[in-house]
Structure 1
Amino acid sequence: MSLVWLYAVRHGGADRPPAGPGVDGERPRLVVEGPLVAVVGTVREEEFDEAALARAMEDLDRIERLARAHHAVIVEAAAEEPTAPLRLATVYRDDEAVARMLRERAAEFAQVLERVRDRQEWGVKVYVDAKPEAPAEEPASSGKPGTAYLLRRRADRDRGAQARERARAVADRIDETLAGVAAAAHRMRPQDARLSGRAQEMVLNATYLVDAEAEEGFRAALAAVEADGATVELTGPWPPFSFATLGES
């Protein structure tokens, strides 16, 4: 028995499926319904039914392999036509179920595909030194040890708050600059320094939907950010994962 794994939906016109391989080692294929084309793969039911996928979610190595294969197929699919990526582990019983979904949600897909036409997603992470500066001098005290300790604690707390405020201001300013060049922006929670592997603090973790013709201006805006003392990590261009979700306006 088999199931149908859904990778993405795109406009018709490019009649060649991605070369793959897909998440189950299969070669992706197409399900055509009117002007829409679903990029799908036939996968084994015993490995990709609801129970099997629930078990897979507990295996980080397998999830990573599935995610990489899923992403690779979408990237290839998006190289030829406007493409709406589907979430990992979107599975249907058969091709007819996929075709029925395309018919029922045709208007939504048309809106999404028009939004991302001739646009690409870029990921931007920005890092700054956000540690509190050392005090120029110790805070004055009455000479009592307890009072001096409390004053130092208060001064340290104030410097930490000021450093965090400066970091937030940098993030807001950079995001505003890049969003002004992009067609749309999506800002996420910055990653913990233990995950980023950097000594600097991540102050911005965002994605931007950029018109193909605006790429040069977007890169120029990034160069200005780096010249201003921040460290920028740029990834992309990618299919518009963050901006092709059904239900967005």
Structure 2
Amino acid sequence: MTAPQLGLGDFFALARRLGASRVEIRNDIADNAILDGTSAATVRQLASEHGVTIISINALQQFNQWSDSRSHEAEALADYAAACGARALVLVADNSGQSMDGGTRIENASVSLTHLAPILRDRGIVGLVECLGFETCTLRSKREAVQAIDNAHGRDVFRLTHDTFHHHLAGEPDLFPELTGLIHISGVDDPAVAVRDMRDSHRVLVGPKDRLDNIGQIAALRAAGYGGPLSFEPFAEELRHLADPAFAVRQSMNFISEGLKAQAA
């Protein structure tokens, strides 16, 4: 989502220009890989040519609403991830607004993760569970996700995605750094939008006007032992049309790096 206007090869080249040797790719960008039918072998070859490692494919949607069709989708995505060299598959919770109690939320996620575990284990892929902070999400709490992982006996194959946007929206204090496998980062600059009204369209690259305390969240996770990757996940339409995405991304990377240094000082 950082530069969806670029083809995959150009995106990998951009990452290397920015000094990033690990990247995340998506399966929901129209007219681009993976949605355009690009083969897993082609993705693997492009990654090798540009010297990048694919962190994960983002994502299996509605993972916590298990069905035969979800099972087939999970197997196909896990096969693709293994074949293209991706290390993980992001598992995004259902955001359909169904009303359910905590026990039902945990049970649904537990059932899904129990089914997903052997699919991922057989292919050597990690599942990155992502809760969404929207009030309409059926799994907002990472604490509930951790309970579901344990119910599925899945600590060997599942990790959490800590999304700074969704963590802020959910208002959950718990971080679970020991179970975190990926951090998604984006900022919200709009001073007028209320937290409960924040949506993907508000998500921009992290900068000085950020309201989500990305620096604080990242610093806290690192201080608690997290040493994994950070992946930009902005969705604002304005980012789709940047003439020079490298400049904008480098500015955000520098801002975050300097902010973390200041926190550590």
Q: Same fold (TM over 0.5)?
A: no
Higher relative contact order (CA 8 A, sep 6+): 1
TM-score, with length taken from structure 1: 0.23
If each structure's strand is expressed as a fraction of its own residues, which one has the higher value?
1
